[in-house]
Amino acid sequence: MKVIKTKGVSFNIVDPFQKRLYEHAARHTNFSAYVKALIQRDMEGGTAAIPSTHTDSVQITKGMLEQFI
């Protein structure tokens, strides 16, 4: 039985909102501890860790979509 479990987080740095998230997260020397603190805060009913809306948007181009094919 594996004792340590991992979850990956991806950031699309073409999206200005996600790029800001990535840059903010990168300022923390221990990303794992930072994410765990956010999860704990959410579990305890603190301020939402994920905003429900944001005003930034990104233009999806054909070239971007072709990367997934």
pLDDT at 1: 85
Please tell me the predicted confidence (pLDDT) of residue 49. 45
pLDDT at 46: 80
pTM over 0.85: no
Cβ proximity of 17 and 56 under 8 Å: yes
Residue closest to 65 by CA, chosen among 21, 14, 28 = 14
Tell me what pLDDT residue 9 has: 94
Residues of the chain with pLDDT under 50: 49-56
Given a contact cutoff of 8 angstroms between Cβ atoms, the answer to whether 14 and 58 are in contact is: yes
User: Locate tokens 């971007």: which residue?
Assistant: 64
